Amino acid sequence: MTGAASTPNWRGALPTTAGLVEIDEAIRLMQRSNDLTPIGRIAQASNASFLCEIDGGLQVIYKPIRGELPLWDFPEGSLAAREAAAYLVSEALGLGVVPPTILRDGPAGEGAVQLWIDHAGVQRAVDLVNASDEGLRRLALFDAIVNNGDRKGGHILPLPDGRILGVDHGVTFAVEPKLRTVLWAWRSKAFTDEERAIIAGGVQGLTDNGALRAQLSPILDGEEIDAMAARLSDLAATDCFPEPSPDWPPLPWPLV
């Protein structure tokens, strides 16, 4: 019987610019704050992304829908919803790999708002990827479930307590296989008991009357939800991490 390595408390408080903040409190503040005060722009982001401040000195990343560049393979104006959906999946399956993220109005209209996390930096993330650190397995499983088309090293946030989060989930949930990631170290590796339980929970949550399907239905297309349900069933059947597809580039560019 394969056991899972011990992992930090995935619902533990998160390190932010305002100190440690509980996840539920962060969501509450992000939802009720009347103002998002822009204090900077993320210059290297491909879509409009603003660093903003909300109540209590918390900082968030705000990605307005109107600032999204069109993509040939995703419906126009859908990336913010995918960011929010990624958080819902991470929470519902008990993975805890995505910072609190919601859809809400802001200075430039509706968009995704995500808690800004104080983390150990990109170089630490790259070192973990190069070392095939076991702490990345949860993120690799998450990416396989949501069909992440852009897992770069710079999208990985190592926390001081050992947790590892991921950000930039706008190109997820496509119907066609698009998994493109730097996290291939576990390809064809058998799942642990914990991972099997996570997958089984996802299968159950996406049944016709499943709770996760109900959460995702307002923001994702029904075909995209069905495709995720099929991916989860395939993962349960193969009982191992997927191999790269021969029909899609396996690595993002740039890698970081």
pLDDT in tens, 59-81: 999 999 999 999 999 999 999 99
What's the rounded mean pLDDT across residues 135-154?
97
In 3-state terms, what secondary structure has residue 119? coil
Strands (E), 145-194: 156-158, 164-166
pTM of the model: 0.95
- Report the range of poorest mean pLDDT among 46-55, 175-184, 230-239: 46-55
Instruction: Judge whether residue 224 has pLDDT over 70.
Output: yes
pLDDT at 34: 74
| pLDDT confidence tier of residue 244, bands split at 50, 70 and 90 | very high
| pLDDT confidence tier of residue 9, bands split at 50, 70 and 90 | confident
**CATH 3.30.200 holds for 14-115:** yes
pLDDT tens digits for range 11-30: 899 999 899 999 999 999 99
Q: Can you tell me the distance from the alpha carbon of 58 to that of 52, in angstroms, rounded to the nearest whole number?
A: 8
Residues 152 and 46 sit within 8 Å (Cβ to Cβ): no
Percent of the chain with pLDDT over 90: 85
pLDDT at 7: 63
What's the rounded mean pLDDT across residues 162-176?
97
Which residue blocks in the chain are alpha helix, DSSP H? 23-32, 79-92, 122-130, 137-146, 193-205, 211-216, 222-238
| pLDDT confidence tier of residue 46, bands split at 50, 70 and 90 | confident
Query: Is the backbone peptide bond immediately before 252 cis, with ω within 30 degrees of 0?
Result: no
Residues 157 and 125 sit within 8 Å (Cβ to Cβ): yes
| pLDDT confidence tier of residue 226, bands split at 50, 70 and 90 | very high
| pLDDT confidence tier of residue 10, bands split at 50, 70 and 90 | confident
Mean pLDDT in the chain? Answer: 93
pLDDT at 6: 54
Q: Where are the domains of the chain?
A: 14-115, 122-238
In 3-state terms, what secondary structure has residue 228? helix
Handedness of CA 230, 232, 238, 243 (dihedral sign): positive
In 3-state terms, what secondary structure has residue 192? coil
Look-up: residue for tokens 């349900």? 229
Residues 162 and 227 sit within 8 Å (Cβ to Cβ): no
Q: At what angle do helices 137-146 and 79-92 cross, to 10 degrees?
A: 130
Residues 131 and 182 sit within 8 Å (Cβ to Cβ): no
In 3-state terms, what secondary structure has residue 212? helix
Burial (Cβ within 10 Å: 0-12, 13-18, ≥19) of residue 244: middle
Instruction: Judge whether residue 4 has pLDDT over 90.
Output: no
